[in-house]
Amino acid sequence: MNNKTSTQPTQRCGYVALLGRPNVGKSTLLNHVLQQKISITSRRPQTTRQNLLGVDTEGDCQAIYMDTPGIHSNTPRALNAYMVANAKSALRDVDVRVMLIEAGRWTQEDETVLGLLGGSRRTCIAVISKIDLLDNKNELLPQIQALHAKGEFAEIVPLCALKNEGVERFRQVIFSYLPTGSHLFGEDELTDQTERQLVEEIVREKLMRQIGDEIPHSAAVVVERFQTEADMVTIHADIYIERNSQKRIVIGKSGARLKLIGSEARKDIEALLQQRVMLHLWVRVRKGWTNNPQQMRRLGYD
């Protein structure tokens, strides 16, 4: 009789929060870690509004990333306060906290984020992002030394997500700090977002890229109809803004801007769904919704 017992490989699984001030590169990093776009990006700060999960599985390791809105101290509207509360909520329940800092910069908002990390027993990792913006990579050394001196970080990882520099090292560092535990998502699952939610975010991204300076954060997108047929998906989505003057900006002369937004969004949606898409967009006015919690809930910001 063979008394030897077989041993199963030990799995690792844990939640990882990506934290930082607005526009520091959290969503871009997540997309490159997953090698698929699930989090929208733009040059405008505070593009991300809600916590979004992205799942990175390799062998026995599964990192469940939480992309969070940028943490900022100025929250004049209910929507701003909602975004910051979302980001702070991620601090409570994750196994690893990742703070992103832009290469060559340290701001008061970075100091605010660092203050939220202080005193935690959870592992904290610092990522120095956008290192391609430095004229001389030797400029990294003083910043790395300064971050080490703060005493909060177990590891410091410089990277440039857009050029895929340092991303693989970052993944392996995260895997090494995950606790043991069974995987919570299937091997092929990348996010907890529904197709409807991903479509809404894609449309909002194209909107912000087209008119971000004119309507920075007054727009929301809601998919009202999502019908899948044999050879096509038909989607009806409403774009909500706060004023009639904004509606004219979104639609553009003879509807040209809205058509461009729809065309760009459709291409990304077809890549996501791997199917032909018929996308219909309407622009509607909901006055003052960004400062009205009841209206925000109706638009999905609950």
> For the domain that residue 128 is a member of, what is the CATH number?
3.40.50.300
Q: Does a structural domain hold residue 170?
A: yes
**At which of 177, 210, 236 does a domain end?**
177
Answer yes or no: do 211 and 144 share one domain.
Answer: no
Answer yes or no: do 33 and 126 share one domain.
Answer: yes
Which residues constitute the domain of residue 68?
12-177
Q: Does a structural domain hold residue 46?
A: yes
**At which of 150, 177, 204 does a domain end?**
177
- Which pLDDT tens digit goes with each residue over 44-94? 666 666 778 899 999 999 999 998 877 766 666 777 676 677 777 777 789
pLDDT at position 6, please?
44
Answer yes or no: do 30 and 80 share one domain.
Answer: yes
Answer yes or no: do 34 and 104 share one domain.
Answer: yes
pLDDT at position 117, please?
86
The secondary structure of 165-209, three-state, reads ECHHHHHHHHHHHCCECCCCCCCCCCECCCHHHHHHHHHHHHHHH
Answer yes or no: do 81 and 136 share one domain.
Answer: yes
Residue where the block lists tokens 């925000």: 296
Cα distance between residue 191 and residue 65, in whole Å? 9
Q: Does a structural domain hold residue 152?
A: yes
Answer yes or no: do 159 and 213 share one domain.
Answer: no
Answer yes or no: do 134 and 170 share one domain.
Answer: yes
Q: Does a structural domain hold residue 104?
A: yes
Which residues of the chain register pLDDT less than 70?
A: 1-9, 40, 42-49, 72-76, 80, 82-83, 119-120, 212-216
pLDDT at position 91, please?
77
pLDDT at position 59, please?
95
pLDDT at position 54, please?
93
Q: How far apart are the first and last CA of the chain?
A: 61
The CATH number assigned to the domain holding 283 equals 3.30.300.20
Q: Does a structural domain hold residue 184?
A: no
Q: Does a structural domain hold residue 1?
A: no
Answer yes or no: do 162 and 200 share one domain.
Answer: no
Answer yes or no: do 154 and 235 share one domain.
Answer: no
**At which of 177, 203, 222 does a domain end?**
177
pLDDT at position 45, please?
62
Answer yes or no: do 262 and 156 share one domain.
Answer: no
Q: Does a structural domain hold residue 130?
A: yes
pLDDT at position 131, please?
95
Torsion sign across C-alpha atoms 29, 30, 31, 34: positive
Count of structural domains, the chain:
2
Q: Does a structural domain hold residue 76?
A: yes
**Does residue 181 contact residue 11 with C-beta atoms inside 8 Å?**
yes
Answer yes or no: do 214 and 167 share one domain.
Answer: no
Answer yes or no: do 266 and 169 share one domain.
Answer: no
